[in-house]
Amino acid sequence: MTGTVTELRTAHTADLPVATLAEVRALLDAAFGDGLTDDDWEHALGGVHALVWEGAELIGHASVIQRRLLTGGRALRAGYVEGVGVRADRRGRGHGAAMMDALERVLRGAYDLGALGATDAAAAFYASRGWQLWQGRASALTPAGIQPTPDEEGCIFVLPLAVPLDLSSELTCDWRDGDVW
């Protein structure tokens, strides 16, 4: 689209108008084949969003929210990346990388580590940016205690930052409705 300015902006959820949040939800519903559940959508809120605008049209979104991840006897402050999506007809142009650049800057400045649950299709995208696949067991700190989450093993990526991590040890996430990872 010649002449249309593409711009990446970051903002906290609190500073995004309701109409923009509705655009984000629509973008993500389309970007993920089956759409987002309400829980998936809620998981992407309450942190810092990276938004790519092509003129007045939203073509990309990713956000980072805070969670606690337990490993090695510590409760680490994790920046958890959610809702990463670029409009299908705008993929392969560097927008995904630009959004991750912006969020990784937030991660480096504010968190002990970055973490995310990758779709199969996007795993190589994160790996190429230095994100590392968690090798050990995965679990969740549920209201009934720590429960294994074996189905999620093999799709949890971390970005080691402020603290050394043993990727072969157990990683436990805090509790939430919907998909815990």
Ligand X SMILES: CC(C)(COP(=O)(O)OP(=O)(O)OC[C@H]1O[C@@H](n2cnc3c(N)ncnc32)[C@H](O)[C@@H]1OP(=O)(O)O)[C@@H](O)C(=O)NCCC(=O)NCCS
User: In terms of CB distance, is 77 or 93 closer to ligand X?
Assistant: 93
Binding map of ligand X across residues 113-152, x = CB under 6 A, - = no contact: -----xx-xx-xx--x------------------------
Binding to ligand X in span 94-113, by CB under 6 A: 94-97
Q: How far is CA 44 from CA 30, 89, 130, in A?
A: 15, 23, 22
Q: How many residues in the chain?
A: 181
Residue pointed to by tokens 């649950």 = 117
Where in 23-42 is the site for ligand X (CB under 6 A)?
Answer: 31-32
Strands (E) in the chain, as ranges, are 6-12, 48-54, 57-71, 74-86, 113-117, 132-133, 138-142, 145-148, 156-160, 171-173
Considering the complex, state which of residue 125 and residue 175 has its C-beta at the smaller distance from ligand X.
125
Which residue type sits at 110?
A
Nearer to ligand X, 124 or 163 (CB): 124
Residue nearest to ligand X (CB): 96
Which residues form the interface with ligand X (CB under 6 A)? Answer: 31-32, 84-86, 91-97, 118-119, 121-122, 124-125, 128
